[in-house]
Structure 1
Amino acid sequence: MTSTHQAPFAGANALIFGGAKGIGRCVSLEWAKRGARLAVADIDEAAAKATAEEIVAAGGKAVGIAANIMNEASIAAAVASAEAALGEIDILMNNVGGMLNGHPEDIPMKEWQRIVELNYLGSARASLVLLPKFLARGSGHIVNTASFAGLYPYAASRVPYAASKAAVISMSQNLAVYCEPQGVRVSCLMPGPVMTGVMDSMTSWTEDCPMRGPGKETSLMLPEEVAVVLSDGMRDGRILIPSDPVAFDIVKRWAENPDAFIRAKIAEFAGGDRGNPVIPDAVKALIGGAK
């Protein structure tokens, strides 16, 4: 690998909350491949340690740590453990998130609050532990995971989720405006449809509520592909990093006439179009092999 490909990862210490499975696991492996040392933090400590062991077996340096992003003391302890194992943290990724499904009137307020606490405030909690340290030394990189659902309207079957991801995008952009002049970089990963296990633990609050997707312009991606897109975007100094650039083409259409865009979505769903993404043949083969 060239040094350009490795930067900003070669020799960096990275802490990933939600780094044990799915996109987080693949980002952990990708960053390690590019020369970073990893602290893999996850509520599933066994999975965090397994991902770390996979990195070590490939010749990298990593440690698996238990962490609950809903608890400030747990976050502080995870940061302390990461620093003890690796040294000063250079890159923080907030990748913890949860999903739900259902009509908004069927979703209890406690679930709205849980999703906001997990998807949005969880990222804020972890950032606030390391941000003062980054600013004090004039370097560091915060990476937050959002979603296409926070970029443009389609996720009518998971309104609290979409709202929380929109908040993450807004937070990331404003943090960039504040932090980058002080030497601290900020990036926001915005995945579209990705083949992960996130829906395996998803609660649906409305029976037979269709899961509405981002549209047939999008494609179902593998988490390994998303990890490469994120890493390349960070290397290139990008702030907003969609898993597929088609997201920005869609946002341009929304910006031209937001009302018309929203009404077109209403008509699509009324006509039975659920907004399912295209599934590439390579992904179909993997799905078939998993059955």
Structure 2
Amino acid sequence: MSIDLHNAVAVITGAGSGIGRATAHAFARRGARVVVTDLVGERAHSVADELGSRGVATVCDVTSLDDLQAVRDLALDHFGRIDLVMNNVGILAVGPVEDIPFHAWQRVVDVNLLSVVRSNLVFLPVLLEQGAGHVVNTASTAGLLPYGFDRLPYTATKHAVVGLSEALALYLRPRGIGVSCLCPAGVATNIVEQIAFYGEPAPPRGPDFPVLDADSVGELVADGVTQNRFLILTAQEAADELRERGRDVDAYLSRLTKDVP
């Protein structure tokens, strides 16, 4: 069921910068052809130009089903097939939960979670028909662990993406389609551009996970896809946290809250 990236066709949303751009390059280095999409057309075209003949670019707003259908059609028209889809767009609303307005919740849910739902509706029929392919959903360690109370809409949607991905793997793997869930910790990207701030900032709580550069994360994604791994972590320390949480969630939460005034 593992996918050979050589001459595979990958569609990546949010590929104009950060993890998406780095993964596009990592896939291309392994011989893949990449449909680079981004909300900002200049960024998408710049990355496609970097990839040369292995890249093609288009603008895509992941809150638009029509845009995603246009991406699918471009991939099929330009490269003749689709083998891999990476859902990689995310935004944040940051602040005390009581200060984050409902419309901010709606926006984060629409971009972070419902974009994956739209992508499934558009791309899964193609992969299911050919009986092969791979899906990568970008979540976060904030979708595995409870530290992100200062960005609760992001945390909630990333937990949802993890759960969606895990259940999707049970459905798709018997049909020849792999599923990976990328859960990065700190990564040096421009995601700050996608943050809306509300109220007084709360001091973040959480482990001091290492911060990786985006290129290293792109390599981790490419390796994870070729090895057909479900969970792709950028900080192996997160696995230790998961094990502690799994042994006794009440004790785990008690440890995290004991120093809160």
TM-score, normalised relative to structure 2: 0.96
2:197 to 204, 213, 217: 204
Question: Separation in 1 of the partners of 2:61 and 2:254?
Answer: 40
Shift of 1:209: 2.9
Match of 1:165 in 2: 158
Query: Residue 46 of structure 1 is aligned with which of 31, 42, 47?
Result: 42
The structure-2 alpha-carbon separation of the partners of 1:174 and 1:24, relative to structure 1 and needing over 3 Å to count, comes to same
In 2, the alpha carbon distance for the partners of 1:147 and 1:45 equals 25
Give the structure 2 partner of residue 231 of structure 1.
222
SS at match of 1:127: helix
5+ unaligned residues in a row in structure 1: which ranges? 1-5, 272-291
Paired position in structure 1 for 2:234: 243
**CA deviation after TM superposition for structure 1 residue 245, in Å:** 2.0
**Any unmatched runs of 5+ in structure 2?**
none
- Aligned position for 1:142: 135
- Cα gap change, 1:39 to 1:257, in 2 (>3 Å): same
Q: How many residues align?
A: 260
In structure 2, distance between residues paired with 1:208 and 1:175: 35
Task: Give TM-score scaled by structure 1 length.
Answer: 0.86
Q: Does 1:12 align with 2:3?
A: no
CA shift, 1:238, in A, is: 0.5
1:38-87, Cα deviation, whole Å (9 max, x unpaired): 1001111110000000111xxx5111111010010111111111221111
Contact residue 116 and residue 160 of structure 1 kept, 8 A: yes
Q: Distance in 2 between matches of 1:214 and 1:193?
A: 11
Q: What's the CA shift for 1:213?
A: 5.1
CA RMSD across the alignment: 1.5
| 214 and 24 in structure 1: CA distance in 2 versus 1, 3 angstrom threshold | farther
CA deviations over 1:187-233 (Å, ceiling 9, x no partner) = 111101111110134111012333x25412x1011111111111111
- Runs (4+) off by over 4 Å: none
Aligned-residue identity in percent: 35
- Please state how far the C-alpha of 1:101 moved relative to its aligned partner: 0.7
Aligned equivalent of 1:191: 184
* Aligned 8 A contact 1:149 1:214 in 2: no
For CA contacts below 8 A with separation 6 or more, give which structure has more relative contact order: 2
1:254 aligned onto 2:245? yes
- Cα displacement (A) at 1:7: 5.7
How far apart in 1 are the matches of 2:191 and 2:149?
A: 18
